[in-house]
Amino acid sequence: MTRIAGRAAIALASVLLPLSRVQAQRAIPGLDAAAMDTTVRPGNDFYQYANGNWDKHTKIPPELSSYGAFNIAAKQADAQVTRIVYRAAAAHAAAGTDERKLADFYQAFRDTATIAARGTTPIRPLLDSIAAIPNKRALADFLGAHLRADVDPINTAVIHTDNPFGLWVAQDFNHPTRNVAALLQGGIEMPDRSYYLDQSAKMQAIRKAYRAHVARMLTLAGVRNAPSEADAIVALETRIATVHWKLEDSEDPSKGNNHWARADFARKAPGLDWNDFFAAARLSNEDSLVAWQPSAIIGISALVASAPLSSWKDLLAYHAIEDHAAVLPSAFDREAFAFFGKTMSGAEAQDTRDKRAIAATSDALGFIVGKEYAQSYFPPAAKASAQRMVAGLIAAYQHRIDALSWMAPSTKAEAKAKLRTLRVSIGYPDTWPSYDGLTVSATDAYGNADRVIAFTYAKSIADLREPVDRSMWVMTPQTVNAVNMPAMNALNFPAAILQPPFFDAKRSDAMNYGGIGAVIGHEISHSFDNLGAAFDSQGRMRNWWTPSDFAHFKASTHALALQYDAYHPLPDLAINGQQTLSENIADLAGLTAAYDALHASLGGRPAPMVGGLTGDQQLFLSWAQIWRTKFREPALRRQILTNGHSPGPWRALTVRNLDPWYAAFDVKPGEKLYLTPSQRVRIW
């Protein structure tokens, strides 16, 4: 696996290795010593040094397209969620209670016999309503009525695809105490415009397989002229993809923060009957909305007018079928997996229905599951330990800001104000969201899915009438992840990520700082990265940098983008340094802050040795081991094209920008990861 442009690092044995092969074979409490390949010089390939034997001997489970530390942590969280759902299923709770909602949703999803007996009857009214659309005005009404609030709050380039647009209700960047409705680009089923437009042989083969998949899905639904309709659908999706923004543009809030008066949509984006659209979408009372990708909205609206009505009806029918595949008879489910699971992601086998029923229940009723998860599996001591680490990392950032020679006092004051007002939520929300009003049936999987969508949309519309809630959680406690919401200046650290391999109260502080400490530092740094730096301490989009400070910041971040541009995970595909810049900045800043926080906690004393390793070695190895990941080729390609994060093995290489790493592992000039001091990127 190539990690540096050109060729993979060559494994070299050396008597100068900081850890002998004999030591690596012995247990090192808190680290996976058996995973290491000490025949590799750390300075030639630090990821392989930390994880080479794990890479060599680990097989990706057949139901997964990639496998790594996040999956290892998620496996434990999944087992815990399974126990929660099973308990609910066995409890026979009273109708309408949260516990009964869990039981009924799970039971309906796993009841494939009832789903099979109903056939396509549940989706038939929706398909009939699409077929009956008489004109473009009625099309606008349908699109508005079926607008969904399924935008990923972490990645605003991703929306639910069955509609040409998606709704995102979030903090108004100009008036941070109120919420605003934003429209985003949609309308394609494959994950990114490149899958439609890239002319490489690989992408052409995927498009050919996709067209065949669309035809098969239509055939399963009883469409007689499925091949010709599939051609029309793929052609229209391709035209939509041509106006879509690239990921790096979609993730830039300065480009997305476009307030349009509701009445101006017809003038700025002609083609769609916007009055009917907004009325059907329950947005007629909004004086203005945010057009997140304005040229895409203009282009899609024009396509509503120019593309044949029949093509739009074909596309909407196919999207409806695709999006309901999991709650239609198993032939639909299998076909959807055959393309999106196997062809697109490389998975070899679909997960069991029971496991998918549990996952679907956790997704649909996330905070019902999360409340029980937090009570059962996240003790107060774990929360207190994480809070102490957060305090240390914030202090480390304060010290680093004070020490920056290039930053003006006025910019430092603004940066420190962001730290003072940063809201860090650990484990679970203070107030649990309510699912009152959501009806769940034990015998209607299709209806449950639609009712959850409608419930989510109604909540988003209601949020437009409410002030911004900085205590809001966008991740459930059982999620193995973390998030910074720069406009809110708020962080969520779900309970499930506060476990091995990221955190373990039984292992050394140095290892925990290299794991969860660096992850916490990563999320804090998003308040100051190339995107978060656009927001002040109150969440208002405002340039608080002096011109010279911002020029220095841009130059440093540009150097980091170029560094990642040079990595070629696939022979024909490099990492996009600009697309991944925000996350790469956060990795560098987070690991640097974790290093500082560890040494501050030691008060000048050396960290205790563990297994012959110094504290610095423990920290850097822990960092590299949390990014261990193996990919199937389609999944790696998809990650590079559609994700703002660099693939895990290349995130581990952040270490080459930190001076202490060179000393810890005796990294010398001429080794493949070596950077001269002037080449090492230093931001915060």
pLDDT in tens, 323-366: 999 999 999 999 999 999 999 999 999 999 999 999 999 999 99
Helix/strand/coil (H, E, C) string of 141-201? Answer: HHHHHCCCCCCCCCCCCCCCCCCCEEEEEEECCCCCCEEEEEEEECCCCCCCCHHHHCCCH
Whose structure tokens read 């979609």?
250
- What's the pLDDT tens digit per position in 89-109? 999 999 999 999 999 999 999
- What's the pLDDT tens digit per position in 473-527? 999 999 999 998 888 889 999 999 999 999 998 899 999 999 999 999 999 999 8
Look up the pTM and report it.
Answer: 0.91
Residue 18 pLDDT > 70? no
Residue 113 pLDDT > 90? yes
Residue 626 pLDDT > 90? yes
Query: How high is the pLDDT of residue 152?
Result: 58
Range with the poorest average pLDDT among 100-114, 378-392, 590-604, 648-662: 378-392
Query: How high is the pLDDT of residue 531?
Result: 80
Please compute, for residue 452, the number of CA atoms within 13 A of its CA located in the half-sphere on the CB side: 19
Average of per-residue pLDDT values in the chain: 92
The whole-angstrom separation of Cα 435 and Cα 495 is: 21
Query: How high is the pLDDT of residue 161?
Result: 59
The whole-angstrom separation of Cα 299 and Cα 314 is: 19
Q: What value does the mean pLDDT take over residues 163-179?
A: 93
Specify the pairing of strand 259-261 against strand 66-68.
unpaired
- What's the pLDDT tens digit per position in 302-323? 999 999 999 999 999 999 999 9
Q: Which of 606, 400, 629, 391 is nearest to 508 (CA)?
A: 606
Q: What value does the mean pLDDT take over residues 200-210?
A: 96
Query: How high is the pLDDT of residue 26?
Result: 56
Residue 274 pLDDT > 80? yes
- 638 band by pLDDT with thresholds 50, 70 and 90: very high
Higher pLDDT, 23 or 351: 351
Q: What value does the mean pLDDT take over residues 567-585?
A: 95
Residue 187 pLDDT > 90? yes
Q: What value does the mean pLDDT take over residues 177-183?
A: 95
In the chain the domains, ranked by start, together with CATH numbers, are 1-58+382-433+473-684 (3.40.390.10), 136-323 (1.10.1380.10)
Q: Six-digit token pair at 251?
A: 């993730």
Residue 662 pLDDT > 50? yes
- 17 band by pLDDT with thresholds 50, 70 and 90: very low
Residue 158 pLDDT > 80? no
The whole-angstrom separation of Cα 325 and Cα 216 is: 12
Query: How high is the pLDDT of residue 2?
Result: 30
The whole-angstrom separation of Cα 431 and Cα 214 is: 43
Residue 140 pLDDT > 90? yes
Q: Which of 320, 344, 367, 370 is nearest to 192 (CA)?
A: 344
